[in-house]
Amino acid sequence: MKDMKDTTIVVIGGLSGIGRATAELAAAAGARVIAAGRRTPPADLPPSITTAHVDIGDDASVARLFEGIGPFDHLVLTAGPVIGSARLADLDIDDAIAAFNIKFFGQMRAARHALGNIRRGGSITLTSGLLARKAAPGALVKASMNAATEIMAKTLAKELAPLRVNVVSPGMVETGMWGEMSEADRKAMAARAGANLPVGRVGQGQDLAQAYLMLMQNGFITGSVVDVDGGGLL
């Protein structure tokens, strides 16, 4: 792991799951880390991680976050809504719009407001998801907002160059994104889903965190989507 001393990173969505794992790995590599989100920060976060409140669905809240932070090097966006599956006939369009407002427009909003803060040599890493390129009945909203995220990143990689913009696309990762369920149900779901993957298990936050760190550190990667899915897209 490269030393990230003298590097400041901001992780929106950094108070849980994949974002938290990324914040912790970057902090372990020596980075100054600001983890932002809506929830009360977990008490067991390493003390080297500073926390901040932001609602990525609210333009004023996102603007306030970056005004308060000042210059930094890398922006990581992992905030996303918990949404279920619905086929078109059962879809509530207002729910779909609300999900897009967090996942797609939230990432666009954060990138927009962070522009003036990110130092030369820095990067933005967005998050999509396997369904962006794997059509499945009932996945219309997730697939659409993740696919839109991927083309947003590629467009911004050209438009904002030399600032680098990339995407991590997770497959099934054991986090709160799976919704409320008992520990036993979560483990059973992980075992079932993992058995169908080439690597024989679902992902953990740390598997994903390594990809975000690589994209921050490798100055030759931009406009890329990195699939971290245990082979789920195959």
Ligand X SMILES: NC(=O)c1ccc[n+]([C@@H]2O[C@H](COP(=O)([O-])OP(=O)(O)OC[C@H]3O[C@@H](n4cnc5c(N)ncnc54)[C@H](OP(=O)(O)O)[C@@H]3O)[C@@H](O)[C@H]2O)c1
Catalytic residue among 16, 128, 169, 224: 128
Q: Which of residues 154-183 bind ligand X (CB under 6 A)?
A: 170, 172-173, 175-177
Q: How far apart are CA 92 and CA 101, in angstroms?
A: 14
Among 4, 9, 18, 143, binds ligand X (CB under 6 A): 18
- If one asks whether residue 80 binds ligand X (CB under 6 A), the answer comes out as yes
- If one asks whether residue 81 binds ligand X (CB under 6 A), the answer comes out as yes
Q: Which of residues 120-159 bind ligand X (CB under 6 A)?
A: 127, 129-130
Measuring CA to CA, which residue among 35, 13, 163 is closest to residue 103?
Answer: 13
Query: Is 128 marked active-site?
Result: yes
- At 53, give phi and psi (nearest 5°): -95, 135
Q: How far apart are CA 49 and CA 229, in angstroms?
A: 27
Residues belonging to the chain: 234
Question: At its nearest, how many Å lie between ligand X and the CB of residue 41?
Answer: 10
Question: What is the secondary structure of 121-182 as a DSSP string?
Answer: EEEEEEE--GGGGS--TT-HHHHHHHHHHHHHHHHHHHHTTTSEEEEEEE-SB-SGGG-S--
Question: At its nearest, how many Å lie between ligand X and the CB of residue 39?
Answer: 3
Q: How many residues bind ligand X (CB under 6 A)?
A: 28
Q: Which residue is nearest to ligand X (CB)?
A: 17
> Where does this chain bind ligand X (CB under 6 A)?
13, 15-19, 37-39, 54-57, 78-81, 102-103, 127, 129-130, 170, 172-173, 175-177
List the catalytic residues. 128
